Amino acid sequence: LAKTTQPISMDSYEGQEVNITCSHNNIATNDYITWYQQFPSQGPRFIIQGYKTKVTNEVASLFIPADRKSSTLSLPRVSLSDTAVYYCLVGVYNNNDMRFGAGTRLTVKP
């Protein structure tokens, strides 16, 4: 099973760029890397997904080095509303090996 390791928590200030790194040393060839965001009392919400190199969308960027053993979610210019838990998942979609870890609790301060 592809296990992921993330920091338990991070603090930041409004307007800063936040980078959250996820380690996944035993990632398999067919695995994708997916990040979700979860606010209290809500279901997770998809942020971004990638396989290698760099992926960017309107809310975040995902950086994946060549060996794919880690990945970094980058949130540009965070605001208070970005305070949430961020989960890194590795696996083939909806296979039995998809796992949510404990996630990273990001707190954005004014």
Partner 1 sequence: NAGVTQTPKFQVLKTGQSMTLQCAQDMNHEYMSWYRQDPGMGLRLIHYSVGAGITDQGEVPNGYNVSRSTTEDFPLRLLSAAPSQTSVYFCASSRQGHEQFFGPGTRLTVL
Give the interface with partner 1 as residue ranges (CB under 8 A): 34, 36, 41-46, 49, 87, 93-94, 96, 98-103
Measured between alpha carbons, how far is 84 from 98 in angstroms, rounded to an integer?
21
Strand-pair partners of 38: 85
Task: Give the residue with the Cβ less far from partner 1, 13 or 93.
Answer: 93
Nearest-approach distance from CB 92 to partner 1, in angstroms: 8
Nearest-approach distance from CB 63 to partner 1, in angstroms: 19
Task: Give the residue with the Cβ less far from partner 1, 36 or 71.
Answer: 36
Measured between alpha carbons, how far is 100 from 89 in angstroms, rounded to an integer?
6
Task: Give the residue with the Cβ less far from partner 1, 29 or 94.
Answer: 94
Decide: 91 and 2 in contact? Cβ < 8 Å.
Answer: yes
The HSE-up count of residue 32 (CA atoms within 13 Å, CB side) is: 10
Nearest-approach distance from CB 46 to partner 1, in angstroms: 3
